[in-house]
Amino acid sequence: METAALSDALDVQQVFGLVSQHVNFTVPDQSSGMPSVKDIGILKEGEHRGGSSSFSTLLATLIPLLLISIPLVIAFLCLRQRVDRVYAPRTFLGVLHDEEKTPKPAFGMFNWFSQFRKLPDEFLLIHQSLDSYLFIRFFRVITRICFVGTCITWAVLIYVNGTGGGGESELGRVTISNVTDPSRYYWHALVAWIFVGYVMYTNTRETIYYINLRQAYLMTPRNASRISTRTVLFTSVPEDYRDERWIRGEYKDVERVWFATDIQELESLVSARDNLAYGLEDSEIKLSTIATKKLLRGEKHHADDPERSGSLASQWDDTTRWKKS
């Protein structure tokens, strides 16, 4: 046991010796025991651990992104005005009624911003589905959360971190690594509580809004008349309750009751019918191909014969006229 403990201590000393060549910290003598966390200089309080963030690093990240995103945005703004079938299909499709069509947006690269921003929610619900409206509202909520979070964090933490006295430079001055006084960390905790509380409040409010909106949307005369909104599916129903009389007794206002039965035999018959239909279709295609090839070869062979030359339609017309005459 003593030999094993001594070898483990020597291995640890060798590891700290190798690391000390690259990191500035000292290893005490063997008589002083194992090194503690306080002896390691890289973990001293207030010392920056990852190097200062610089504007050059920020620019090296932003420049490639701008070089890619700016041409894509310009291409979108130009194509949006010309490719209506992709960016504005509901403005001209004939399958839609006039009240279902979307007004054509203003022509121009930036004129449509204000028009889209002023669209009321009722217009979106009438011309789109509930899922599409909620998808757009989701982006609104995320944008609002990011804006409020930016205002809260920047207004407080930039000052707290900037005056932290850590001696950081460039962008490192506004990070938490520039704070040396532990009491200033309470500001970070307070800001985190406020922001998380706002996010939870927003989630709760949107959940309640969604419940009320969905109920009101499905109860409108336009949607209430659909059979999909008036049909309820029950799964895992016990064997004793699979009776139409029992269901009508429990639910007085029910109009129709359907039981999902085992249709495996019917599916096999349908599959056999489809296979026969596909086989007949393939045979007809092969027959048409063979007949067309023979007809083309016959036209080439009798090209010099005026009575048999020409297309099949012309021969049919000539034969019909000869019979009538």
Distance, CA of 200 to chain centre: 22
Six-digit token pair at 107? 């022509």
Using a CB cutoff of 8 Å and minimum separation of 24, what contacts does 316-319 make?
none
Which residue, among 14, 21, 40, has the nearest Cα to 6 in the 3D structure? 14
Q: What is the mean pLDDT of the chain?
A: 77
pLDDT tens, 202-237?
999 999 999 999 988 888 887 777 887 788 888 888
Name which of 86, 127, 77, 128 is nearest 107 in CA terms. Answer: 77
What are the pLDDT digits (tens) for 37-94?
444 444 444 444 445 556 788 888 899 999 999 999 999 988 888 888 888 887 888 7
Angle between the 130-162 and 185-218 helix axes, to the nearest 10 degrees? Answer: 170
Query: Are the CB atoms for 275 and 282 separated by under 8 Å?
Result: no
